[in-house]
Chains A and B, each alone.
Chain A
């Protein structure tokens, strides 16, 4: 077994162990209903953190609009589930909802990737932010209804749909989609997370993954070596969007009223996920999962000091960043703790 496989297995192991611990806690009744409600959100935030880490850490392009793809996945799948709620049994419908949510998110990832990936650095970041906001705003202006004549569509108001009496409004503009079946569960969330991890970790270990990381490290050198920069960038970005779409499917099937609000899909939400990725370690997939779980639970667990919790969170964030990244602090850490790790480093060299 090589090092990479071992590493991947550890990641799956952590997720599964985590799942078993929480399942035992639920079965023995040690988990409050408030905590139980947090388990599914935790899994989809972990999934989207993995997706964003593929974009930021592996591809090396900063995206602050990833919640837009989550939004697309959520709405496409919720729409499908609402339409077919009566005609299809739960299990195949939910699987199809996943496929549709992922496919739509991937399609938009591809379409948005074409213009976005031509840009560089902070320009690229701000355009992803722009696309995230555009998606949110456009979905907020959508009205789709269904009646015996088929689908009706409007961008103005629900009155404009002109439906028959038996009509049923499915997407009601800023009011969103109401009454999506609650199919997401902790188990399904964990399965999706494991699949997402499997896809991303295998991608990184593959020939394609090495090409993508070569582009990240030096795209001119990669191009000179014959790596097709554009197509690999598109590939990584589309996969990342697709996984974000899967997170969206989990999201929409866990919430009664799905609205394209800034709280869930705005740039602030995307930035929050970026915080998970950066604190978990850029390019470190396992770190993203752990950071997403801890950082999602932290403000919720601090509810006791509800007024101060975000204050504490923000100070912790600033201090963590300075300790982790400041060149002076790193140097100081090396000087102070360097003595202890010196022997280890020497031993490694000897081998």
Chain B
């Protein structure tokens, strides 16, 4: 029974990673850049929920909506101000370093406003959860909500990308920007839309992450951000079901190795799995192998 509990906790953490990884993988797929600041969007979302809920005497629904809107604006603004000028730069490292700069900037703004002390975050999910098998299997409400939300987001994104014009435009732009532009797709606007979706997902992930692990500091988002990126790479970067699978694998491995092997080595095991998977499949679990032409 305890194994089942850990497995469900792993699924829940994995779902959070998956939601972040979806944002990562979409942005990478279309803009071909590692958005190191993505993890910090999570942190910004958490602080917005924290402030708004505090001001509205604990009403977190409004907080979540405000956080999603503001994070979306933040994502689009960052893209416009910091990343768009560097599109087409001669080295791909330029935009990577800029993303690191944005990450430092967001962390330090949060540090100035809220200070370095850890804030305790009250869960946005008020439901107590389920008690199954005569109380032997306790599942927290936030765990179930997290898993359900991640599945809903996955399905919604799949439908959006495969069934709508904007989604098809995203696919086209990620394949070949030049050709997409010739077909009448506004590439800049499509990329901005991708950033908007990714950042909104980051806000949702932030709400769920801080509900499950209720400590909030300016560096809250950094490690989950990196883990989510690992999840995206594990699943095959650019692939939406891949991000989901990668996230779930990572979450389950992390919780199980923390419980059964060593809490100190759990990160090493998580990263070890990434190394092993990439050695067997160099483009991730669901990644497409691209043949290089001369």
Contact = CB atoms under 8 A, between A and B. Distances in A.
Interface of A: 56, 62, 115, 118-120, 122-123, 125-127, 129-131, 133-134, 137-138, 140-141, 155, 173-174, 220, 267-268, 271, 274-275, 278-279, 282, 307-308, 310-311, 313-315, 317-318, 321-322, 324-329
A123 B234 CA distance: 10
Given A133-B268, A220-B292, A314-B101, A122 B85 contact: no
A129 B226 contact: yes
Contacts of A321: 86, 94-95, 97-98, 101
B230 A317 contact: no
Given A122-B34, A220-B294, A311-B108, A137 B267 contact: yes
A279 B85 CA distance: 17
A122 B237 contact: yes
A329 B85 contact: yes
Contacts of B226: 129, 267
A86 B139 CA distance: 58
Contact of A314 (B96, B108, B265): B108
Contacts, number: 132
Interface of A is mostly: helix
B104 A314 contact: yes
Contacts of B90: 325, 327
A125 B230 contact: no
A160 B87 CA distance: 55
A274 B258 CA distance: 31
Q: Which 4 residue pairs spanning A and B have beta carbons closest together?
A: A314-B104, A130-B271, A325-B94, A317-B101
Contacts of B62: none
Interface stretch (B47-55, B197-205, B272-280): B272-280
Given A133-B267, A326-B85, A118 B282 contact: yes
B233 interface: yes
B271 A131 contact: yes
B282 A325 contact: no
A138 B94 contact: no
A62 B95 CA distance: 13
A233 to B, nearest CB: 15
Interface string B250-294: 000000000000101101100110110011001110000000101
Interface of B: 28, 34, 36, 82, 85-91, 93-98, 100-102, 104-105, 107-109, 111-112, 222, 226, 229-230, 233, 237, 262, 264-265, 267-268, 271-272, 274-275, 278-279, 282-284, 292, 294
B85 A328 contact: yes
A325 B86 contact: yes
8 contacts: A62-B96, A118-B279, A138-B265, A278-B94, A311-B108, A317-B104, A321-B94, A325-B89
Contacts of B82: 318, 322
A279 B272 CA distance: 31
A325 B91 contact: yes
A268 B36 CA distance: 11
Nearest to B290: A120
A340 to B, nearest CB: 23
Contacts of B292: 220
Contact of B97 (A115, A119, A278): A278
A316 to B, nearest CB: 8
A317 B97 contact: yes
A282 B93 contact: yes
A275 to B, nearest CB: 6
A96 to B, nearest CB: 30
A155 B269 CA distance: 14
Given A137-B268, A317-B100, A310 B108 contact: yes
A127, A267, A274 — which one has the most chain B CB atoms within 10 A of its CB? Answer: A127
A318 B268 CA distance: 32
Contact of A326 (B28, B89, B233, B282): B89
